[in-house]
Structure 1
Amino acid sequence: MTGHQEPATEGSPLTPVKPVEPELLVVTGMSGAGRSTAANALEDLGWYVIENLPPQMLAALSELVSRMPGALPKLAVVVDVRGKALFADIRESLNALSSAGVAYRVLFLDASDETLVRRFELARRPHPLQKDGRILDGIGSERQLLAEMKSQAEMVLDTTALNVHELGAAVTELFSESGPVVLALTIMSFGFKYGLPVDANFVADVRFIPNPHWVPQLRPLTGEDAAVSDFVLKDHGAADFVERYVHALEPVLEGYRRENKHYATIAVGCTGGKHRSVAVAIELAKRLSQYPRVTTSIRHRDLGRE
């Protein structure tokens, strides 16, 4: 007589255990943009990090990881352009990974030319591609070489305004296991008179809102002060704008999830970046942080400038 057999349950001996899918992250970007800092942050999170790997070795490395997924469940490979001839083949190497069914993501670190020049000058080191020219010549060559990689990267992290601690925190936020964060949003306030932010995915103009600058008691305050925030947000047009703008961003957030995009910047601008844009950015961050698996951080680019 055959004994009664209990239904298979997840994790029981009757249920095949799904192997751990290894994660492969390719970290690249502009020299001086913070690749080493990002690598250190990933190591702190338990990733196995390999720096300065020639792109041609990606396929062999991924094959090793596929054969031993439990040994290296999280592998980050830092690739740079110091070997220019080798880097030229990186797209072919990544295509080979896709053809072999190896899933990977690309984190691209960038910064403004002015910031990169200042960092190289402070370190008193030449740019790896400048040869006998200037640092800017090397940066220009590198941007041209990396243009395709940046356009196809799942995550582009601009480090222009970040110090090493802030960059480490940003990487930790993107890859921490404390929660399944799908999308990390930076809500940035700025002043139009200082120029548009180059790293913004969306730009909103809130100069239609009455300006607290023309109210004597509010002029010395900022959008972080309750009096200014109340003045800005009590305006019917401002409240209506915030509500509709958040609603309009809903399909964008869903689209980013589908496309596996993990980082985006929403910029809010007024004339000087002191009152209206600051108050609206804070309110947008509060609203957007309520969405599931979304985190928000606030950056006031021009606050404090005269």
Structure 2
Amino acid sequence: MTMGTAAEELAPVKPPENELLVITGMSGAGRTTASHALEDMGWYVVEGLPPELISTMMDLVARHPGSVEKLAVVLDARSRGFYTNMQEGLAQIAAAGITYRVLFLEASDELLVRRFEQGRRPHPLQNDGRILDGIQAERDLLAPVKDQADIIVDTTDLNVHGLANAINELFNDDGPITLRLNVMSFGFKYGVPTDANFLADVRFIPNPHWVPELRPLTGQDSKVRDFVLVNEGAGEFVDRYVEALMPVLEGYRRENKHYATLAVGCTGGKHRSVAISEELARRLDQLPNVKVNTTHRDLGRE
């Protein structure tokens, strides 16, 4: 399959007339910041809506055509019936022919604890226990929600402005539905990204770290990039990986999933994964209605 043929096959999909975005996730992971960013883009945001009232809210919107084109509802987990009530509400609006997406905001335990301690407030589910107890209870409660989410954003390394920019990148789209891809390089020795939809291991490529003149450089330097890409199997890997992604991206469109993270790992996240990520991003960015962002998680580490 050539890139030209693949690009032609990835046809645009017309966006729905009314959009519903369900925002949920870990307490302290940035739901309020995401809400404010959406409001700045013209979305109508309802915070603290009980999940069983989702269908009621959409019914009110349907009774006033044109009043609300983009609606976001923010749900937080305060009861053990949260997941069941949410699923029932979403099933009702799906039966009514309404398209929706679920955005799940995630963050590390360490960061969430720090945010609650700085705010001098308890976690909503900790009861008489520790903040960590509340976080774990919420993770258990939201696990099935996260598994079924259309978009997962890990805010661990994002400040307020970074999260607002990420939300703007994801949802400020006035044209045909755009599939947004984040191609992320990382180092396996620092852990696998928790929000990766696809994971590629490029440690099969010879490591530039062992070439003295390349060691201080990174995969963004032309000498390292050339060293990586000319190695046997590297170019073929990129070709076949892009080709393998084509039916996946098309399927995402059909299922109204608009965001995915492609994580590419090597040992330290400095040479091979960076060069391969840059090349994958360059190739994928040529596809119509696909927006590609490249991040290098571990590039600045020693």
**8 Å CA contact 1:41, 1:168 repeated in 2:** yes
Q: Does 1:87 align with 2:82?
A: yes
CA positional deviation for 1:103: 3.0
Q: 2:112 aligns with which of 112, 116, 119?
A: 116
Q: Which amino acid aligns with 2:170?
A: L
Give 1:49's aligned residue. 45
Residue by residue over 1:253-288, the C-alpha shift from the partner in whole angstroms, topping out at 9 and shown as x without a partner, is 111111111111111111111111111111111111
Distance 1:248 1:103, change over 3 A: closer
**8 Å CA contact 1:129, 1:138 repeated in 2:** yes
**8 Å CA contact 1:129, 1:142 repeated in 2:** yes
CA positional deviation for 1:227: 1.7
Distance 2:177 2:69 in 1: 19
Residue by residue over 1:83-122, the C-alpha shift from the partner in whole angstroms, topping out at 9 and shown as x without a partner, is 4267352222222323344332221111222222232223
Q: How does 1:106-185 map to 2 (within 5 A)?
A: 106-185=102-181
Q: Which amino acid aligns with 2:258?
A: H
CA positional deviation for 1:290: 0.9
Computing the radius of gyration from Cα coordinates, the structure with the larger value is: 1
Q: How much identity, in percent, do the aligned residues show?
A: 66
Give 1:190's aligned residue. 186
Q: 2:220 aligns with which of 203, 221, 224?
A: 224
Give 1:255's aligned residue. 251
CA positional deviation for 1:181: 4.1
Q: Greater relative contact order (Cα 8 A, min sep 6): structure 1 or 2?
A: 2
Q: 1:64 aligns with which of 38, 60, 78?
A: 60
- Deviation above 6 Å: which 4+ runs of structure 1? none
**8 Å CA contact 2:186, 2:273 repeated in 1:** yes
Give 1:15's aligned residue. none
Q: How many residues align?
A: 286
Q: Secondary structure at the match of 1:304?
A: coil
Q: Which amino acid aligns with 2:284?
A: L
**8 Å CA contact 2:101, 2:257 repeated in 1:** no
Distance 1:239 1:100, change over 3 A: closer
Give 1:269's aligned residue. 265
Distance 1:259 1:37 in 2: 27
Give 1:304's aligned residue. 300
CA positional deviation for 1:49: 0.8
With the length of structure 2 as denominator, give the TM-score of the two structures.
0.89
Task: Please say which of residues 159-168 and 212-221 is displaced more in the overlay.
Answer: 159-168
Give RMSD over aligned pairs: 1.8
Give 1:76's aligned residue. 72
**8 Å CA contact 1:191, 1:274 repeated in 2:** yes
Unaligned runs of 5+ residues in structure 1 are: 1-19
CA positional deviation for 1:28: 0.9
Distance 2:300 2:280 in 1: 21
Distance 2:198 2:290 in 1: 17
Q: Which amino acid aligns with 2:43?
A: W
